[in-house]
């Protein structure tokens, strides 16, 4: 019988308005890769933040190697040998890799000896087969490399239990493979790995045992060899899910182009080229899915079309009429609607009321204002209608949107964007972070809009989403569109390869 | 320009630049920890008035009195800074508002003037001053003398501090961790660094240095207490932190540049050049505005490396 490394019993953590962990039981054995599986919002990150001392549990006990512990801070958890690679990296961007690795380590001497630190970090990286230059600055690294730095950090601190929170979310399939090898090398040395994910396939391929969380509760723990993706999916969502293509009343017409980009270039915030000669068209009523690992130019693509970022070359046209470069108002006037990735801060004014947010796009029209004065009563009526139509759950239209849940925030945004009768909608990760019910509603709205003739550019990392909604799929890799194909012919494997930089021929 | 005039201006640039450097170096420490301190002017004035009082009332040898006065000024500055840290770090108040309130509360016609009134410090000139030294008897050497061997002890101290501060920030573990706290408190926290402690300590250190800068006005430059005697030096110091890219060495150079602008007026007037005094007095502030405008451009902000978490309170259980 294997020894227990970590045992968490009856863990409860409440946040204002939500119980993120509701009596979680979780036990991990020494030397295993133990997957923690659950949908977005199931409470996985919260549980691991409790284990690493970042949050204090409201109830429950934690045992490490059989004895009860209580971590007041990340430091005490680190000292006890628990290290975490966060979903959102905790790295100091202007620092070098080596500086990040030694940060906070009690064994670092008062006067830093850069030479020997660099050497030791390089050695450690080599031992686990992780290619990364200790002298490079973090901001110069790819996401995959940054993740390796995160892992090096906890290994350098001598962690015996490593927690990785959705480590593959930002990786290409090839980088993910390399990560799995590193994890194996670590368990072979007797370290314990807790691998958090909501992706069934990779959990099946990397773990020894799996614990499934649902709505903050433990559903159960199973040995990987005794289970199947289907069973796991059932445990995860509480009902068996079939992934199916959306039903369309009016399939889109690719030939009747509403949005066209010709050789579009643009730079990212650092001034490096983010888009390299992008060509893409969206037809009337067509949904074009843009697949790709985040950070390959998707955000810049969306912003350039929405007029929030200036292109440095090329042409963007709506129904063949060029749109003024880098002018959001021109894009709106031209008929572009935009659901940005960061909906609460880029898409909406978080502190403002639901009704004000809903009026944000057409308050200038004679319908909502005259002589620069707002017609408040009409704004309220309009908002009431939209709240009903889009089934937004809010106490009233005067409530600030930041108080709404994620799904309802997204509904407010969609309601506003569609209220301007757009010709084109650019939607960036429109369902990320939403619960299952809200995801369904959002997807239904997108399909409905397409049926009514709106051309939709759907940017998403979620292949399932793209494959079930899109008529046509393009793949983005390093700022270029590397493939353009009808959705019906595409397979997950092929898309996965393309997203990882394989050529179209090689992916067939 | 006449080389003699140039030397005079350079020497007095160092003199006037010294308190600016102290206050700005304090700002470097504070801002490196992620706390913006707009209360520098207030802290300087509190330092100035407490130093003046101590110099008038503490007995013992002249050296001892001056030493005590400097320590008292630093203590006063850091107490005021601990209030700022309490508002910004513990209560997570808006740092701009907190800093401005401190300057208004403690600055000219505020607490410093009140203390000056009840202690009656303005009535007597300060006799126990921080005086210029004749180091190794070389003060009268042409050119090198006025530049290097004829300064107050505080100027020499500031040079040492500049070197130590660079070493501390960029070579030691604590410096690395301090910069991490200012760049990404989330990261620092996750690595077991006590963000609150680092912010308190370096905000208070900043206050102590501002107090020391203030003491230089009442014990060396003026040298007596005059209401609002720093005349906006605290604001120049804040601009200097940016001008110096949060680095001690560049901040020192910047301080001397502003010191030169300040001394220009005095020197040129004494040589009866025909430039209106008000124009000359305004020079450092015009320069401050120019610097701040330049560095506030998008381009500059991306390049010059302001601590990324500057001005942002850190909250752990927040997303
Ligand atoms: N700091 C926080 N404040 C408020 N609510 C939170 C916080 N962290 C998580 N939650 C909520 O707790 C629930 C679980 O979140 P999380 O642990 O991040 O889930 P997962 O990692 O499984 O996606 C979600 O409903 C989320 O909105
Ligand atoms: Mg999570």
**Ligand 1-lining residues (CB < 6 angstroms):** A 15, 18, 20, 38, 40-46; B 317, 319
Mean pLDDT on B195-214? 98
Within a domain: A265: yes
In Å, the largest CA–CA distance within chain A is 79
Range of the domain at A97: 4-237
Angle of helix A492-499 versus helix A173-188 axis, rounded to 10: 90
What pLDDT was estimated at residue A100? 95
> What CATH number does residue B27 fall under?
1.10.3470
pLDDT tier for residue B272 given thresholds of 50, 70 and 90: low
Angle of helix B3-32 versus helix B248-270 axis, rounded to 10: 140
Whether the pTM exceeds 0.95: the reply is no
* Cα B220 from Cα B238, distance rounded (Å): 22
Q: Is residue A265 located within the same domain as residue A231? A: no
At A263, is the secondary structure helix, strand, or coil?
strand
Mean pLDDT on B107-136? 89
Which ligand 1 atom is nearest residue A49's CA?
17
Task: Check whether B64 has a pLDDT greater than 60.
Answer: yes
* Cα A229 from Cα B5, distance rounded (Å): 84
Interface contact A103-B176, CB threshold 8 A: yes
Q: Which of A52, A112, A269 sits opposite B172 (nearest CB)?
A: A112
Residue with tokens 């129904």: A319
- Contact indicator for A475, A504 with CB cutoff of 8 Å: no
* Cα A445 from Cα B211, distance rounded (Å): 62
Q: Which of A237, A264, A294 is the last residue of a domain?
A: A237
Interface contact A104-B184, CB threshold 8 A: no
Distance A62 CA to ligand 1 centre (A): 20
Strand A217-223 with A209-214, pairing: antiparallel
β-sheet with A321-322: strand ranges across = A273-284, A253-267, A311-318, A321-322
* Cα A117 from Cα A98, distance rounded (Å): 7
Q: Pick the residue from chain B with its C-alpha nearest to A91.
A: B187
Contacts of B180 in chain A (CB under 8 A): 92, 95, 103-104
Q: Is residue A13 located within the same domain as residue A104? A: yes
Q: Pick the residue from chain B with its C-alpha nearest to A156.
A: B191
Within a domain: A346: no
- Kindly report each contact of residues B166-172 with a partner whose C-beta sits within 8 Å and lies 24 or more positions away, as own/partner: B166/B247, B166/B248, B166/B249, B169/B28, B169/B32, B169/B247, B169/B248, B171/A111, B171/A112, B172/A110, B172/A111, B172/A112
Distance A458 CA to ligand 2 centre (A): 23
- Contact indicator for A292, A477 with CB cutoff of 8 Å: yes
Query: Which regions of chain A are under pLDDT 70?
Result: 1, 239-244, 502, 505-508
Q: Is residue A77 located within the same domain as residue A165? A: yes
What pLDDT was estimated at residue B140? 87
**Ligand nearest to the backbone CA of A87:** 2
Within a domain: B314: no
Within a domain: A460: yes
Q: Is residue A21 located within the same domain as residue A145? A: yes
Q: Is residue A230 located within the same domain as residue A286? A: no
Number of folded domains that form chain B: 1
**A90 vs chain B: nearest CA distance in angstroms?**
4
**247-276 of A, contacting B, C-beta below 8 A:** 269-271
Contacts of A109 in chain B (CB under 8 A): 173
Residues of B with CB under 8 A from a CB of A: 171-174, 176-177, 179-180, 183-184, 186-194, 302, 305, 308, 316-317
Within a domain: A340: no
Q: Is residue A202 located within the same domain as residue A289? A: no
Handedness of CA A60, A63, A64, A69 (dihedral sign): positive
Range of the domain at B192: 3-304
For a ligand 1 pocket test, name from A41, A163, A195, A408 the mutation site with the most ligand atoms within 8 angstroms of its C-beta.
A41
Within a domain: A382: no
**Phi/psi at A373 (5° precision):** -105, 135
Burial A250-261 (b: 16+ CB within 10 A, else e): eebebeebbbbb
Interface contact A108-B184, CB threshold 8 A: no
C-alpha atoms less than 13 angstroms from C-alpha of A466 in its C-beta half-sphere: 29
Q: Is residue A315 located within the same domain as residue A178? A: no
Distance A88 CA to ligand 2 centre (A): 9
Q: Is residue A100 located within the same domain as residue A228? A: yes
Q: Is residue A225 located within the same domain as residue A185? A: yes
Within a domain: B315: no
Within a domain: B156: yes
Q: Is residue A165 located within the same domain as residue A297? A: no
Q: Is residue A232 located within the same domain as residue A262? A: no
Within a domain: A69: yes
Q: Is A240 exposed, middle or buried (0-12, 13-18, 19+ CB in 10 A)?
A: exposed
- Helix (H) or strand (E) segment spanning residue A339: strand A336-339
Number of folded domains that form chain A: 2
What pLDDT was estimated at residue A450? 95
Q: Is residue A261 located within the same domain as residue A214? A: no
At B71, is the secondary structure helix, strand, or coil?
helix
Within a domain: A68: yes
Task: Check whether B319 has a pLDDT greater than 60.
Answer: no
What pLDDT was estimated at residue B142? 85
At A6, is the secondary structure helix, strand, or coil?
strand
Q: Pick the residue from chain A with its C-alpha nearest to B301.
A: A270
How confident is the prediction for chain B on average, in pLDDT?
90
Distance B305 CA to ligand 2 centre (A): 31
> What CATH number does residue A190 fall under?
3.40.50.300
Interface contact B187-A78, CB threshold 8 A: no
Within a domain: B201: yes
What pLDDT was estimated at residue B318? 45
Which ligand 1 atom is nearest residue B317's CA?
1
Interface contact B192-A102, CB threshold 8 A: no
Q: Is A468 exposed, middle or buried (0-12, 13-18, 19+ CB in 10 A)?
A: middle
Interface contact B302-A271, CB threshold 8 A: yes
Which ligand 1 atom is nearest residue A44's CA?
22
Within a domain: A243: no
What pLDDT was estimated at residue A462? 80
* Cα B195 from Cα B182, distance rounded (Å): 9
């Amino acid at each position: 019988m294997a020894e227990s490394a970590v045992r968490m019993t009856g863990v409860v953590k409440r946040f204002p308005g939500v119980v993120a962990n509701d009596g979680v039981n979780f036990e991990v054995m020494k030397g295993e890769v133990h997957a923690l599986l659950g949908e977005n919002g199931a409470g996985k990150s919260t549980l691991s933040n409790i284990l690493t001392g970042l949050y204090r549990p409201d109830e429950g006990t934690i045992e490490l190697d059989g004895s009860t512990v209580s971590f007041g801070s990340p430091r005490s958890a680190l000292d006890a040998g628990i290290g975490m690679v966060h979903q959102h990296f905790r790295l100091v961007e202007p620092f070098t890799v080596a500086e990040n690795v030694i940060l906070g380590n009690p064994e670092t001497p008062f006067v830093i000896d850069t030479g020997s630190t660099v050497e030791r970090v390089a050695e450690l990286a080599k031992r686990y087969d992780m290619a990364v230059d200790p002298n490079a600055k973090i901001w110069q690294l790819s996401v995959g490399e940054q993740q390796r730095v995160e892992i090096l950090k906890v290994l350098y601190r001598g962690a015996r239990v490593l927690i990785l929170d959705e480590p593959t979310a930002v990786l290409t399939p090839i980088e993910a493979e390399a990560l799995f090898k590193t994890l194996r090398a670590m368990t072979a040395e007797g370290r314990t790995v807790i691998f958090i994910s909501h992706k069934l396939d990779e959990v099946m391929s990397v773990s020894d045992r799996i614990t499934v969380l649902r709505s903050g509760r433990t559903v159960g723990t199973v040995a990987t060899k005794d289970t199947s993706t289907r069973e796991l999916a059932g445990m995860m969502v509480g009902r068996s899910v079939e992934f199916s293509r959306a039903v369309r009343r009016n399939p889109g017409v690719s030939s009747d182009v509403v949005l066209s980009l010709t050789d579009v270039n643009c730079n990212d915030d650092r001034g490096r080229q983010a888009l390299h000669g992008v060509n893409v068209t969206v037809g009337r009523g067509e949904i074009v899915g843009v697949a790709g690992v985040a950070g390959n130019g998707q955000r810049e693509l969306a912003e350039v079309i929405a007029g929030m970022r200036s292109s440095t070359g090329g042409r963007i046209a709506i129904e063949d009429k060029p749109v003024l470069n880098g002018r959001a108002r021109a894009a709106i006037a031209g008929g572009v609607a935009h659901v940005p990735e960061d909906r609460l801060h880029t898409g909406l004014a978080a502190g403002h009321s639901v009704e004000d947010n809903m009026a944000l796009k057409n308050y200038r029209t004679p319908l909502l204002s005259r002589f620069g004065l707002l017609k408040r009563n009409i704004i309220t009526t309009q908002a009431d209608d939209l709240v009903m139509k889009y089934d937004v759950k809010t106490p009233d239209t005067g409530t600030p949107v930041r108080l709404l849940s994620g799904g309802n925030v997204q509904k407010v945004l969609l309601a506003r964007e569609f209220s301007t009768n757009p010709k084109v909608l650019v939607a960036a990760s429109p369902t990320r972070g939403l619960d299952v019910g809200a995801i369904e509603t959002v997807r239904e709205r997108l399909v409905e809009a397409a049926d009514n003739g709106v051309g939709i550019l759907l940017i998403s990392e979620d292949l399932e989403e793209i494959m079930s909604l899109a008529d046509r799929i393009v793949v983005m890799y390093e700022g270029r569109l590397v493939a353009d194909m009808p959705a019906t012919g595409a397979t997950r494997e092929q898309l996965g390869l393309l997203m990882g930089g394989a050529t179209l021929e090689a992916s067939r | 320009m006449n080389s003699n005039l140039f030397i005079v201006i350079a020497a007095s640039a160092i003199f006037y630049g010294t308190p600016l450097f102290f206050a700005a170096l304090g700002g470097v420490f504070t801002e490196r920890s992620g706390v913006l301190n707009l209360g520098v002017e207030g802290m300087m004035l509190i330092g100035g008035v407490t130093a003046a009082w101590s110099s008038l009332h503490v007995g013992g040898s002249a050296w001892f009195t001056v030493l005590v006065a400097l320590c008292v000024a630093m203590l006063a500055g850091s107490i005021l800074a601990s209030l700022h840290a309490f508002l910004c770090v513990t209560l997570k108040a808006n740092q701009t508002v907190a800093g401005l309130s401190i300057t208004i509360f403690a600055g000219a016609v505020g607490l410093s003037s009140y203390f000056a009134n009840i202690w009656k410090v303005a009535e007597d000139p300060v006799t126990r001053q921080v005086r210029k030294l004749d180091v190794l008897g070389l003060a009268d050497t042409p050119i090198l003398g006025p530049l290097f061997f004829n300064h107050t002890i505080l100027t020499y101290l500031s040079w040492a501090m500049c070197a130590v501060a660079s070493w501390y920030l960029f070579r030691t573990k604590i410096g690395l961790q301090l910069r991490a706290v200012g760049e990404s408190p989330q990261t620092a926290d996750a690595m077991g660094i006590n963000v609150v402690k680092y912010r308190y300590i370096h905000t208070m250190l900043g206050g102590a240095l501002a107090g020391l800068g203030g003491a230089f006005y009442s014990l060396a430059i003026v040298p007596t207490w005059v209401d609002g005697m720093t005349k906006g030096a605290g604001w120049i110091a804040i601009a200097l932190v940016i001008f110096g890219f949060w680095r001690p060495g560049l901040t020192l150079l910047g301080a001397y540049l502003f010191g030169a602008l300040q001394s220009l007026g005095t020197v040129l007037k004494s040589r009866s050049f025909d430039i209106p005094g008000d124009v000359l007095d305004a020079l450092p502030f015009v320069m401050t505005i120019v610097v701040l405008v330049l560095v506030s451009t998008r381009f500059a902000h991306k390049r010059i490396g302001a601590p990324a978490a500057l001005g942002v309170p850190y909250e752990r259980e927040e997303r």
